């Protein structure tokens, strides 16, 4: 278990108190990112239905629930309501993810909570948002559902192919980043003014917002675009190429590479179509010639050779690596992109992604692994003023549970 005063002093968010009551995966991930940078994050799990990722996706839980404290609480119960309201008064930020209107249905509307804690930042994360057409607000949503509704799945399915979701659940993690920046922006404002705020974040809108030019192309010009697997919009000189050893590279022939060394490597020296260094437009003669030249070079060299040779002449290129290569890569090792920590939930050492981003003076830190169910019940409740007798009563009534 861990008391707040026993937490190490590290990171940019030390002293920020975050209450997280959501489940898989967007909202709790945002809270974990805060915890990795020093915030005191209390994750509330449902005492009646613990987080399924603990068993179903155990290593994702180990990585994405680390650095938090936890309490397993039945919030809607009579006694659980009181504990929840005490946590609301403790917190600077409350993040939750549920169907729109769930907490209001339980009697916890935003106005009431802001009366209890006027400078609280409330962040609702859901598939369709807190307001809108009631049918949509009440719908269940998962990452692929949001991809389908937002048009993201459509634009990533080239014509003539079956629509496919993008995995891992990019919509969950993009939504988490929106939750992260907006809650911290609201906290900054609350500390300046003493007034909290309410953020209504829908997963489909977060994905829609990162869909580049595709929405504007349709809503402005009526162009219903889909992703071409070989190009990026109107930009040519991009694509995946197979190499002599059967491995693949991704190549981006940027304009700055169209100099003597790059042209010589590709056998394009003296070609009048390459006498200028502006962008290559998809479908033009320059695009077709550059693709053929890149393809010929790749088929006569290994992926590692292409990666080395192209980067020497400023052609954007990277071998498409698997995790075995990434973990042994000297750049990855020097940046400590992969780290090891002890996982409390499973009782084993885990290797996974390190702290992102790197911070010079107040770096983040993996100070503990993902907690066991209810691991910090007593410490958290004692900090809220509950006596040993109060805590035992909550256990006896099933309001709180632990492994």
Q: What is the pLDDT along the chain (403 residues), one digit of tens a residue?
A: 578 888 999 999 999 999 999 987 899 999 999 999 999 999 999 998 877 778 777 888 899 999 999 999 999 999 999 999 999 999 999 999 988 888 999 999 999 999 999 999 999 999 999 999 999 999 988 899 999 999 999 988 877 888 889 888 889 999 999 999 999 999 999 999 999 999 999 999 999 999 988 899 999 999 888 776 555 556 677 889 999 999 999 998 888 778 889 999 999 999 898 888 787 888 888 889 999 999 999 999 999 999 999 999 999 999 999 999 999 999 999 999 999 999 988 889 999 999 999 999 999 999 999 999 999 999 999 999 999 999 999 999 999 999 8
- Residue 175 has a pLDDT of 96
Q: Are 40 and 91 in contact (CB under 8 A)?
A: no
Name residues whose C-beta falls within 8 Å of residue 82's C-beta, 6 or more positions apart in sequence.
Answer: none
DSSP 138-177: TS---HHHHHHHHTHHHHTS-TTS-----TTTHHHHHHHH
Closest CA to 171 of 209, 138, 217: 209
Distances (CA, A) of 35 to 39, 115, 175, 273, 285: 5, 27, 17, 53, 52
Q: In degrees, to the nearest 5, what angle opens at C-alpha 381 toward C-alphas 377 and 386?
A: 135
Q: Are 371 and 379 in contact (CB under 8 A)?
A: no
Residue 99 CB coordination number (10 Å)? 16
Q: Could you tell me which residues are beta bridge partners of residue 134?
A: none
Distances (CA, A) of 327 to 79, 321, 324, 331, 333: 48, 10, 5, 10, 7
Euclidean distance between CA atoms 45 and 69, whole angstroms: 11
Euclidean distance between CA atoms 371 and 71, whole angstroms: 10
Which residues are identified as catalytic?
172
H helices present in 1-151, as ranges: 26-36, 53-56, 58-64, 78-90, 102-105, 110-116, 134-137, 143-150
Q: What is the CA radius of gyration of the chain?
A: 25
Q: Are 31 and 43 in contact (CB under 8 A)?
A: yes
H helices present in 194-313, as ranges: 203-209, 214-221, 260-266, 285-299, 303-312
Tokens for 196?
Answer: 């909290």
Distances (CA, A) of 9 to 65, 128, 280: 19, 37, 51
- Residue 234 has a pLDDT of 63
Closest CA to 359 of 381, 336, 325: 336
Axis-axis angle for helices 303-312, 285-299 (nearest 10): 130
Closest CA to 197 of 206, 209, 187, 210: 187
- Residue 49 has a pLDDT of 83
Distances (CA, A) of 87 to 19, 43, 218, 335, 397: 7, 11, 45, 37, 19
């Amino acid at each position: 278990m861990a008391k707040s005063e026993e937490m190490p002093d590290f990171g940019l968010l030390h002293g920020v108190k975050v209450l997280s009551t959501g489940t898989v995966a967007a909202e709790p991930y945002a809270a974990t990112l805060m915890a990795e940078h020093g915030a005191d994050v209390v994750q509330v799990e449902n005492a009646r239905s613990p987080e399924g990722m603990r068993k179903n996706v155990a290593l994702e839980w180990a990585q994405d629930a680390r650095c938090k404290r936890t309490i397993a609480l039945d919030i809607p119960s009579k006694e659980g309501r009181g504990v929840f309201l005490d946590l609301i008064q403790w917190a600077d930020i409350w993040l939750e993810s549920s169907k729109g209107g769930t907490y209001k249905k339980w009697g916890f509307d935003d106005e009431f909570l802001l009366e209890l804690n006027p400078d609280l930042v409330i962040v609702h994360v859901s598939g369709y948002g807190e307001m809108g057409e009631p049918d949509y607000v009440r719908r269940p949503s998962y990452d692929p559902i949001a991809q389908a509704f937002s048009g993201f799945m459509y634009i990533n399915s080239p014509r003539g192919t079956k629509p496919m979701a993008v995995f891992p659940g990019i919509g969950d993690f993009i939504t988490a980043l929106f939750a992260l920046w907006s809650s911290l922006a609201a906290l900054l404002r609350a500390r300046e003014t003493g007034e909290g705020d309410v953020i209504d974040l829908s997963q489909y809108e977060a994905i829609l917002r990162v869909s580049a030019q595709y929405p504007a192309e349709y809503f402005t010009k009526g162009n219903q675009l889909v992703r071409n697997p070989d190009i990026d919009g109107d930009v040519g000189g991009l694509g995946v190429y197979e190499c002599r050893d059967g491995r693949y590279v991704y190549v981006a022939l940027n304009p700055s590479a169209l100099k003597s060394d790059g042209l010589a490597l590709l056998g394009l020296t003296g070609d009048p179509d390459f006498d200028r260094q502006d962008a290559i437009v998809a479908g033009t003669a320059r695009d077709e010639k550059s693709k053929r030249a890149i393809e010929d070079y790749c088929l006569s060299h290994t992926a590692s050779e292409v990666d080395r040779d192209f980067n020497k002449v400023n052609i954007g290129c990277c071998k498409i690596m698997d995790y075995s290569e990434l973990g042994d890569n000297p750049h990855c090792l020097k940046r400590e992109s992969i780290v090891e920590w002890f996982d409390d939930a499973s009782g084993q050492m885990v290797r996974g992604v390190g702290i992102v981003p790197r911070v010079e003076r107040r770096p983040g830190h993996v100070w503990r692994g993902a907690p066991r169910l209810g691991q910090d019940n007593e410490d958290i409740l004692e900090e809220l003023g509950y006596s040993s007798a109060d805590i035992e009563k909550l256990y006896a009534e099933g309001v709180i549970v632990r492994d």
